[in-house]
Each structure stands twice: as C-alpha cells, then as structure tokens.
Structure 1
Amino acid sequence: MEQKPRLKLLDAQFDVHKLSSVMQLEDLQGNWFLSSTDEELSLVCESLNRELIKDSVQKSELNWRSIKVEGPLDFSMSGVIAGLSNELAKADIPIFVVSTFDTDYLLVKERNLAEALVVLKKAGYVFV
C-alpha cells in the first residue's frame, strides 16, 4: 500500500451486540452491520438503537466510535487494515473492524478515541 487512505471519524456512537435471536431489522436507525455464523449472530449498530433491540441482545460491548476508511477501496488493495491496526497496536489501543463491499470501518472504544486520533495523525493519516 503506497498511499495512506483518508479517514473520517463518524459522529455516532456504536455498540457491538451478540443476539440471542433474529429480530426485525427494518426499524434499525443509522449505520448497522449484521453477521451470522454457525456459532453466533452479531450486530454492530449505532447506540440510539439500544432500546429497540434490547429483547434480542444476549451480550453487549458498548461505547465504540467508528473511523471510516474513505472508499471505495479496490479488492486488490492490501495492507489497509494492517497499516492502521499496526499503528494502534503499538499504542496498545484495541480495535474492532467491520468491512463492507466498498470500505472498512475501524471501531475504537470511546475512552481510547482521543489517543487513537493522535496516533493515526502522527503516523501520517489524514482525517477529512
């Protein structure tokens, strides 16, 4: 990866949930990501949905912020997440990553956000 991608800090706060059952998704507001495996059903969504989904939640990790990698990213690109996660790992900042067809989202706990922004900017990443 020659040029570092541009980043955007999203305004919303996010939560990561393990769901006990499938729920109605059409009422979810804002950005959300659903994944299903043979072991679990997970939902990452904006915190404003907490009340709406509470009956389906088995376990939660609350208060994440999302740094969007400005896309669209080509599938042939390599090292995008590695570059970002390496910088944050050196600063002992844990992350959670969600990918879509066009781009990636790096989730950082709210309590680590200020430090994460400083680390990434020092590493040469530009926020738009």
Structure 2
Amino acid sequence: MITTNRRLSVLPSPFVIEHLADRSAPVDDSWFAAVRAPEGLTVIREAPPAVVDGQERWIGLYGDDPHELDLPGMLAAVVGPLGAAGVPVFVTSTFHSDLVLVPQQRFTDAAAVLRTAGHTLVETR
C-alpha cells in the first residue's frame, strides 16, 4: 500500500514569486527556482529582508521524502487539503519532490490543515 502522508520541511527563509514577461532566463544567480513558459519566466527567490510594498511573502514546504516520478497522489495529498481549506498555493516540482509555497500570513492555517491531514512538518527555520 502506498502512503501519501508526507514529511515536509518548512524552509528557513520566506520567498517571493516574480513573473518576468520579457525574460527567458534569470538575470543573476539569486533565484531558488525558475520556470520558463510561453508567457515568460516565473522566478522564486528568497525574500529580501525589507518588505517591499505589494510583494507577497511565501513560506516553502519541501517534501523531504523523495519519491519516484511515477508515484501517484504525492502532490495531491498536500494541495488537496490546502485547497479544501481555502489556502492558496504555488507549486513547482523537482526531480525528487515538490516545493509547495503558501502565503506567509496563512502559514499557521496551512500547517494545521496539513497536520490534520496526517502530514509531518519539520521546522528548519
């Protein structure tokens, strides 16, 4: 039987998400993840120390239980309960796991929802 209860690391720094319509690659090495798509580049960076007006901060949850690419339900097990609770997410995936970002102001709600769903959150901050 496959279990989809995840062990999620809470990454130590908050992130910001940028959309760069006129770029196909980041301009520097300060990015955490970058995805190129037809409409431009999406870049996830560690948030700067000072809050920038209008720039939402996100908390990263990363599955520290690597799994095969063909194992079904791993991401759905995390985003399903969050969606049902009305917690927004932004997701990007790696070869080994998924990075799920939740708005910083909703992190307490997200953590409670995920724990109730059977997931383990490991604070690394």
Whether TM exceeds 0.5 here: the answer is yes
Pairing 1:97–2:97 present: no
Q: How many residues align?
A: 116
Residue aligning to 1:39: 39
Report 1:20-99 matches (<5 A): 20-21=22-23, 22-26=25-29, 28=30, 32-48=32-48, 61-99=55-93
Counterpart for residue 7 of structure 1: 8
Structure-1-length-normalised TM-score: 0.80
Residue identity (%): 25
Distance 2:100 2:36 in 1: 19
Separation of aligned partners in 2, 1:61 and 1:3: 33
Residues 77 and 47 of structure 1: CA distance in aligned 2, closer, same or farther (over 3 Å) = same
Q: 1:127 is paired with a residue of what secondary structure?
A: strand
Q: 2: CA distance between counterparts of 1:78 and 1:97? A: 16
Question: Which runs of 4 or more aligned residues in structure 1 lie more than 2 Å from their structure 2 counterparts after TM superposition?
Answer: 20-26
For the aligned residue pairs, the C-alpha RMSD in angstroms reads 2.1
Give the Cα separation in 2 of the matches to 1:71 and 1:98: 16
The alpha carbon displacement at 1:39 in A equals 1.5
Q: Give ranges in structure 2 of 5+ residues lacking alignment.
A: none
Shift of 1:23: 4.3
Decide whether aligned partners of structure 1 residues 106 and 23 sit closer, same or farther in structure 2, where only a CA change above 3 A counts: closer
Q: Structure 1: where are the runs of 5+ without partners?
A: 51-59
Offset, 1:94: 0.8
Give 1:53's aligned residue: none
Helix, strand or coil at the partner of 1:92: coil
Contact conserved, 2:11 with 2:62, CA < 8 A, in 1? yes
Going by fraction, where is helix more abundant, 1 or 2?
1
Q: What is the letter of the counterpart of residue 25 of structure 1?
A: D
